[in-house]
Every structure is written in structure tokens, then in C-alpha cells.
Chains A and B, each alone.
Chain A
Amino acid sequence: MADGGATDGKGIGARVLRKEDARHLAGRGKFTGDFRRPGQKELAFVRSPVAHGRIKSVTKPAGFEHCVFTTDDMPGMLPMRAPSKMPGYKASDYPALAIGKVRFVGEPIAVCVADTRAEAEDLAQATQVEFEELAPVVDMLAAKAPDAPRIHEDWDSNLVMETFADDDFGKIADRATVVIKREYRMARHAMNPMEGRAVFAEWDDRTDQLMMWTSTQVPHLIRTGLAEFLGLEQKQVRVIAPDVGGGFGCKALLQPEELVAGWLTRHLEVPVRWIEDRREHLVTGANCREHHYFITIHATPEGRMLGLDCDVTVDAGAYSVYPFTNGLEGAMAHGNLPGPYDLEVYRCRTQTMTTNKPPLMPYRGVARPGVCYAMEMTIDALAREIGVESHEIRKMNMVKESAMPFMSIAKKHFDSGNYAKSVEMATDMIGFDDIRREQQTPPADGRLIGVGMGSYVEQTAHGTSVFASWGVAMVPGYEQATVRLTPDGGLELRIGVQSHGQGMETSMAQMANEVLGIDPAAVTVTHGDTGLTPYSTGTYASRSMVMAGGATARACRVLAERMEIIAAHLLQCERAEVSVRGGKVVSGKGEVSFAEIGRVWYLNPDELPDDVDQGGVEVTMGYRPEPDSGAFTYASHACKVAVDVDTGKVKVLDYVIVEDCGTIVNPMIVEGQTYGGATQGIGTALFEESAYDADGNPLASTFADYMMPGTTDAPHYRIDHMESPSPFTEYGIKGMGEGGTIPTPAAIGNAINDALKAIGAEVNETPFTPRRVRAAIIAAQKNQQGDAA
């Protein structure tokens, strides 16, 4: 792999400014909401106001019956079905428009078509739905009760899926004399990309194709899903993701609204558009994260963790999402709970429950922010119990660099890294010892200072075998990239993944630069269009740079070989004498520009050698890492917080990140992704919550009730990088898009509990709202009074 192409310092490792920012900063981006067609119609949905009920009747507004559609009016539109091969998994049909029954507030029942969105909403408001209300199941633990109402009546319980691992705790019993038990909850919340979901659909009679522009991370999967559930051939569907303003997972799924728009444009023969509003997003479109934990760590008095025992419950909501299913959270919780630690015994049961809430969707970090939070908070509880600093416990128990590659107790194949080093660096960066000294002098303003840490290891770029083990029907294989030299020596790079904020138009161009030395400015990265790019399962799971980047490197190498054959002929020298370097093919006898090669191949083929590769200057190559068990990124985050004891309000004073995502392609993009992720983690930790009342009504349906972290809540992050290349991937790159979100709730929760340790209070439920922090303080004070009495 002797790529010598890059000579201009714009390849792997360079802080190249993002190419795509030029259009975004100038307002020249084009998002789904920017599309206009003559005669287009707008859609609005009639959504259920009840959490659980049978639909007795739908009465359409008089005179406008032809503008309102229920599932009965839409023959051929099938319910979404995402099966899983997990043992005992119960699949559920997810109808795009409710069939007979509604299972969460906000579930679409009918769609209204009008010239403007306001008129469509008028129709929705005037549509009357009569229900026979049923008792709802709102809480995941209550869902387990044998007499709990059934959300899916043909099931024998509300259990979607169970995973179980057991071990013999007897073999550690005499050494593990310290047993720490805790209970944690992570609240349901929502993803909130800046751009909500959006669909524009138009039937093209000429090509006999459904054309759908949609705000998605996975255009090829949407195409496959639309074809399957609308009864079309795949060739009849073309999906284009134009500029997409963030996704975080909710756009890695087929949306009910996409199916509805696809059916309507075909049958009404007009272009239709649906733009999600923020209320729809908060209430129906992007719920995530809701977990409950009973967790026990068994350790020696010195802090060596020997055993981990956990019962995890996942609140999956009402339906299984396509294609990733609602089994993903439980499966990933199971596999990631032990984190970077080397344990002797592990028992874990995960139970995924269905409830009368919106479907739970995989959100940046998927399950790992929850498991990291449960594990890392319990480690700090252990630290307080035995009087050892938690960073010492982390270092003592982490898998050693010398042991890599290492098969973890949860069967994760760690590839490389010095996990303990990240703990040590983060401890130093946050000024741990200084904070400990500062804590000895209580501040005058009555606020308490705390310091906390969260460490994680994250499997990225999961391969075929990993996805197959999760039982999902859709399994990624070889990722492909196409490179094509243009007649003037530019490069077109076509990838099936989709960039929706990750800066791939830049980082993939840097990859081409690394191999060919071509200026990234001369590389056009095309993505997000099923008509123009190789099939791909898309962008999710921190996979794109490893997978599509790897494919790009391989395609560029083959292109380099083919160009060398042509160049050797033009230079009248031996093939071995030429090589691609600095965006040219060079030899001792001279050099040939890429433009010259393009000219000869496309326009003057009479100058080509006889032995030219007939595939020309266009190459598609596939790639997957070997083994494809994943590249493991890791990080330690540490923070300093102040807790206002009187109000319970928490302020993050300082935040440091030490991360290792292997070889870094563009540090600026890595840092931006990490800061963004960590800020979402602050949302999880301190602000974001999709609460429901006992009847299953959402209590946070606007940004007045749903708190997002803003600029004033994001600390000035300080970051340092480690670079332990993966031995299994091209250039040693590991995925990193999600990681920033993972340890933040743990780090902040631990810092709060550190601040409160003198009071003996502990928080154990996110978000750590002022009300919850106060409740923890009061509970501790009552405990102490009880003890004193």
C-alpha cells in the first residue's frame, strides 16, 4: 500500500477547509424544502390524540373527501415490516397510516392534500376521528406486568425481545467482596437535527419512476423500502438526498411520510411535499434513548472489577422501525455494557418492551450513551465506596494495550489502543488534583464543585458479521466507490453513503488526494443519489470514512495503475518507470498530467497503447475491513461542574476530551464532530426529555417545553488526540461520528455526584434537571436525619 500520491499536504491528516461550506455559507445549499414544482401539493397529517385506542370512524370534511386519505383509500401501500432473526423476536407491522388501531399519540391516521400547508392543516383539523379508548402502557417497567394491556393483541406479552448472558459468579465470590448496586434511568428524548424530515415526491412518466427527494442518511435503503412497501420494482424508484441538515439516526429509517408521499404522487399524478414541523419531530418522529438499568459491580476492596451483573430494559415504543428494527438497542446494550474493561464474569439480561409511545429510533451513539452512563456512574459509586479515585479504578481495569487485539467478555474484538492512557491524559487536562484542592475550600457562593469522567470504547464501521449477529434483515457488505477521470483531468468520486454534515465532500476528496495527489478542489464527490452512486446501506454507525473511504482508496489505486499504463506509453518508457505522484504521472523522462490522460482516453484514443485497460479511466471497487469485526474508537471525557445546591442547577465549567479514532483524516472535522456530539451529550445529561403523562400524552411538544442545549450551555471544549491505527482498516482509520455523545451523560453525572458526595446525594436519572438534583439532595438529607435518629 505504498501510496505516494500526496505531495501538497492536503491528504490524510490535513486540516483542509470543508469544501461544502462554500455553498452553505453563501446560502447556496439546496435542501428538500427548497424544491418547487408547478402544481405541487402540500401534505398534512391527521395524528392520533390518544395513546391507545381503536379507530371507530374517520369523518372527512364535507366537500373535501377527495383530499383526505386513510389507509383504506390507499390500496397497495403495505405496512412497514422490519423482521429480525434474533431468537424470540416479535416483529410488528408499522402501518404508514394507522390500520384499525392507534398505538401512540401522534401516530398518523390520515393524510390531507391541499395547495398550501395551512390549508392541509385546516383539513386535518376538520377531520373527525372517533376512538374507543384503551388503557395505555406508558412506562416500560409497567409494560412487564402480566396483566398490562397488550399493545399488539396477537402477542402473549409486551416483550419484543430478550437477550441473556450468564456466568458463574461463584468463581469470584471470595475475591469480589465489594458489591455495588445501582438503578439508573436515561430519559426518552428526541434527536433534533436542524433540518427536520422532509419529502418531495414526483412521478416521472418518461422514466416510469417515482422520484423522491428526501432528507435521508440512507437513500438506497429508502429506495428498497419504498419499492417493497409500495409494490414497485426497484428500477421504478430513484431516491435523492440533496443537502441534508443533520440526521443523527432518525433519517436512517424509512419514514411513514415517505411511503405516503410516494403513493400519493403516483396516484394523484401531482408532485407532493411534506415538511416536518418541529412539533411533529418532537412528538412523533425521532424519539430515542429510553433505557432503565439495575446494575451491580462485583469488585475487590482495591477496586479490581471482577463481575458485572445487569438487567437492562429498553422502551422501544409502539413499533419496529425499518430496516434496523427495535431490537438494535437491546442487542447493542448487551454487547457494549462492559465497555473497555477486562472482567471475569458477566451476566446481562436485556428486555425490550413495547409501549404506547412513538417508536424508539437509533440515535447517534445507539444504546452506548445509556450503557456507558450506567457502567461509569456505578464505577464512581464503587470509587466513593472504597475510597479510591475512579480514574485509578478505570486504569486498573481497562484492557491493556499489550493485550491487543483482545476479545472482550461481551465478545467484542478490540483492535488497538491505549485506553488507560486516555484516562491519564484527561485526568491531567482537567486539572484533577487542582480541583480536589479547590474542593477543600467551600466556595462563598454556596455552589459545590465536582469533577467527573466517562470512558468508553466504541465499535465503529461494524461489518457484515456484526450486523448479522444483531439479526437485522439488512446487512452491509462490501462498500463501493466509483472514481472517474474527467476529460480535463478532474476526478468524479461517487459513493453510496451520504454526507449530511460530516464533511465527506472534503474528507473523501482528501482520501483521493492521498492516493493520487490530486488537489481536493479538483475532486467532485457525488453522494446521496441512487441513480448516480453504487448501492450502499448508507451513513450511520460511524462507518462512512472507514468503509467508503477505504473503497475510495482502493478505486483510486486501480485508477492509478490504469493511468500509469497510458502514461508509460505516452512517455515511451517502461511501466515500472512511472508512478502517480502529485496529481501527475511522473517518470525520469518527464511527466504526464491527468488532463493529458483524460484527453487521450476520451478524445484521442488513437494515442492509447495496445495494452490499455479497457475498463478505462473509470473504476468501481468494493471494500470491507478484514476482519470486519469493527474498528474500536475510544475516548475519555472529563468535566468540572458547579452545582447550585439551593436550586439544583448544574453548570459545566470545564470539559476536556481525549479521543483516539485511529488515523485522523481531517482533524478539524474530527474535532467539529466531537464537539457537536458532546453538546448533544450535554443535552442528554442536563436538558432533553420527552416526558409523557399517565395517559401517554407527550408533555414536551415545542421548544418551550423541550430544552435543547444552546451556545450558553456548551463549554469551551478542550481536546487532545491519540492516534492508534486500526490494524484492520485502510490507513488505520476508525469511525468517529458518534463518539462525542457517548460518555457525556456519564462524565457530567459523575461530576454532579462528586460535588454532592459530602451530602451523600446521588443523581441517577437523566436529564439531571434542577428538580431531580434537588430531590436527590433532599432524599440524602432525609436519610441522614433518619440515620441520626
Chain B
Amino acid sequence: MKSAKFDHQRTTSLADALAALGNADGEARIMGGGQSLGPMMNLRLAQPDLLIDISRVAGLDGIDMTGSSLLIGARVTHARIEDGEVPGVTGAYLQAVASGISYRSVRNRGTIGGSVAHADPSADWPSALLALGGEVTISGQGGERRMPLDGFQIGPFATGLGYDEILTGFDLPVLSDGAKWGYYKVNRKPGEFADAIGAVVMGPEPRAVCGATESAPFRVTAIEEKLAGGATELSVADARDMIAAHDPGFDDYDLQIHAVALSRAVGRAFA
């Protein structure tokens, strides 16, 4: 299938992109790597009037670690993270996540900011970053603002971004040298979207995320409390109970694989 007609505007600065977004008639969409929006447009599931291409916007592609803060620009590709550009334990965690996203040609173009802004519940970054914690940086006509990753995604393909705002990057915590993490994705084949995600990061406080749900990924506080209490393993049966308490909407199989994902993520963290 071929996309419906749309206007295409290539921008070279964030200011231009924001202006284009603010002045747009009809529906405008930001395109970074285009690896999700492109297929959706070809299938005519998305039919924006204006496509604002930010793939050549200066900046937004930095990776900077200073002290306890890791800044990652929205335009950083999965491939760069897979190739180890992010240092330290945080980098190792992000590398493990990035290398499991689709296949290399998608990772060469797809971006971390695009993935989180697109907010596909089955994608890796929304879950993986929520488990890390930190903030999303956002630019709009009125200037910059920040939102915590907690609560940023509010549903399937829905976030706290305003219609005239652009996600510019992330300010993430830096994990200490000995920090443990575990990430487990249940899917049918390597590189496919997830059927279930379990993400566990033992930062200053343990964070445990249940992802690839029908809606936004969520933290499972009972698991976090158990980990904070010193637990180093989690049975599938316990994980089922703890996840079910958060989201009773799962059918039995979905509950099972999400419990397996979290159980194995804990197992990997403490392996």
C-alpha cells in the first residue's frame, strides 16, 4: 500500500520544527526515524496532513553523562545504543534492550525518542525507560518542560505530550557500578514486538515494570517492595498474584507470560 497524500517539511532546527508544528493546519506528525509511522502511513492507518521531518534537526542526538545524570537526545538511534555509546552499567542495560529491538536495519533508523513518543505498548523503550526512571524533556512554543517517565505514557499510543510539543530527549539516572538489572521479553521470534516485558532495575530504589500490556506499562509495587526487602528471586506464581492485583484485565495466558517475564527479569538481575 501507498501512503495517502501529505505535505512533507524537512526542518533543520528545533525552532523550525516547533514553528511548523504550531502553524500546521490539520493533523501534523513528527517523524524521526520513521520506522513505526512510515508503515502506519503506508497502511493508511495514519493519514497526517503534514509530516514534519526532524531527522536533520541539529542537536537532539547527544549522549552525555555528567555525574548522576545521563542525557540522551531523542534522535539517538537504537543502533548507537546497541553499539555501546552509552557508558557504564546504565549503558549495558540500554544496550541489552536496544539489541533486541526488531532487526538491524530498523535499529539503524529507529530512534529512542520516536519510540517513546509513539508509545506503542509492545515496544521496548517505554517499558525499559520506565524501569530506569528519570524524566522526559519536552519543548513547546512556550519553552522547555520536563515530565517524569512515571505517568508519561497514559495509554496505548497516548502520552503526556501536547499536540504542539516535541519530545527532545531523556534525563536518566546513572546506575552505580554494582547495580543489578534484568530485562526479559516474551515474543514469538527474535526481533518481534513483545507479547510481554519484564524490566527490573535495582537503582537507588528497586523498580519493576510490567510491559507490553494492552495499555501503558506499569510498575508493580508489590514486586518492588519484595526486592527492596532483599528478595533475589520471584516465582511465577507470586508474580501472577502481584501483577493481577494491578491489572485484573489480563486473560490467563497474558497474566502467565507477564509473570514469567518479570520472574525471569528478576532471575537475570540476580544471576
Contacts and interface: CB of A to CB of B under 8 A. Distances in A.
A602 to B, nearest CB: 51
Contacts of B5: 118, 122
Interface string B84-108: 0000000000000000000000000
A712 B252 contact: no
Contacts of A439: none
Given A121-B1, A122-B5, A648-B253, 8 more contacts: A125-B4, A125-B44, A277-B1, A646-B260, A649-B186, A702-B39, A770-B186, A774-B256
Contacts of B190: 710, 712
A118 B260 contact: no
Interface string B163-200: 00000000000000000000000101111110100000
Contacts of A709: 189
Nearest to A120: B2
Interface in A120-140: 121-122, 125
Contact of A707 (B3, B44, B189): B189
A770 B188 contact: yes
A770 B195 CA distance: 11
B43 interface: yes
A143 to B, nearest CB: 28
A647 B257 contact: yes
B2 A707 contact: no
B2 A117 contact: yes
Nearest to A711: B190
Nearest to B236: A646
A704 B102 CA distance: 11
A116 B4 CA distance: 12
Contact of A770 (B2, B39, B44, B257): B257
Chain B contact residues (Cβ within 8 angstroms of A): what range? 20 to 34
B43 A279 contact: yes
Contacts of B186: 647, 649, 770
A771 B4 contact: no
A649 B261 CA distance: 13
B124 to A, nearest CB: 15
Contact of B253 (A118, A279, A707, A774): A774
A116 B193 CA distance: 32
Contacts of A116: 2
A162 interface: no
A727 B3 CA distance: 57
A647 B257 CA distance: 6
A118 B2 contact: yes
A775 interface: yes
A311 interface: no
Contact of A279 (B1, B188, B195, B256): B1
Contacts of A769: 188
Contacts of B192: 707
A713 B189 contact: yes
10 contacts: A118-B2, A121-B4, A121-B44, A122-B5, A646-B256, A647-B186, A702-B43, A704-B193, A712-B190, A778-B252
A647 B255 CA distance: 11
Given A118-B3, A125-B4, A647-B186, A775 B43 contact: no
A712 B12 CA distance: 40
B46 to A, nearest CB: 14
A121 B188 contact: no
A687 B253 CA distance: 17
A710 B189 CA distance: 8
Interface string B36-62: 000100011000000000000000000
B1 A707 contact: no
A712 B189 contact: yes
Nearest to A702: B43
B253 to A, nearest CB: 5
B2 to A, nearest CB: 4
A704 B44 CA distance: 15
A646 B3 CA distance: 41
Contacts of B44: 121, 125
A482 B22 CA distance: 70
Interface in A704-730: 704, 707, 709-710, 712-713
Contacts of A121: 1-2, 4, 44
Interface in A95-146: 116-118, 121-122, 125
Contacts of A646: 236, 256, 260
Interface string B1-14: 11111000000000
Contacts, number: 55
A504 B44 CA distance: 40
A118 B39 CA distance: 14
B51 to A, nearest CB: 14
Interface string A750-789: 0000000000000000000111001100100000000000
A680 to B, nearest CB: 15
A775 B256 CA distance: 11
Contacts of B39: 702, 704
Interface string B184-222: 001011111101000000000000000000000000000
- Residue of B5, B39, B188, B195 most packed against chain A (CB within 10 A): B188
Contacts of B257: 647, 770
A770 B256 CA distance: 11
Nearest to A708: B189
A278 to B, nearest CB: 9
A647 B260 contact: yes
A514 B113 CA distance: 63
B157 to A, nearest CB: 14
Contacts of A687: 188-189
A767 to B, nearest CB: 10
A513 B130 CA distance: 66
A626 to B, nearest CB: 48
A775 to B, nearest CB: 7
Nearest to B2: A118
B4 A122 contact: yes
A118 to B, nearest CB: 4
B1 A775 contact: no
A746 B50 CA distance: 51
A277 B192 CA distance: 21
A118 B193 CA distance: 28
Contacts of A117: 2
Which 5 pairs, one residue from A and one from B, show the smallest C-beta to C-beta distance? A118-B2, A712-B190, A646-B260, A771-B253, A117-B2
Interface string A645-682: 01111000000000000000000000000000000000
Nearest to B45: A702
A707 B188 contact: yes
A709 B191 CA distance: 12
A785 to B, nearest CB: 15
A646 B193 CA distance: 19
Nearest to A713: B189
Interface string A492-518: 000000000000000000000000000
Nearest to B1: A277
Interface in A61-87: none
Contacts of B236: 646
B248 to A, nearest CB: 19
A533 B39 CA distance: 42
A775 B4 contact: no
A513 to B, nearest CB: 41
Contacts of A775: 253
A122 B5 CA distance: 8
Interface string B102-138: 0000000000000000000000000000000000000
Contacts of A648: 253
Interface centre among A122, A646, A647 (most CB of B within 10 A): A647
Interface string A631-653: 00000000000000011110000
A710 B257 CA distance: 22
A709 B192 CA distance: 11
Contacts of B193: 704
Contacts of A774: 253, 256
A277 B4 CA distance: 15
Most chain B beta-carbon contacts within 10 A, residue among A116, A709, A712: A712
Nearest to B256: A774
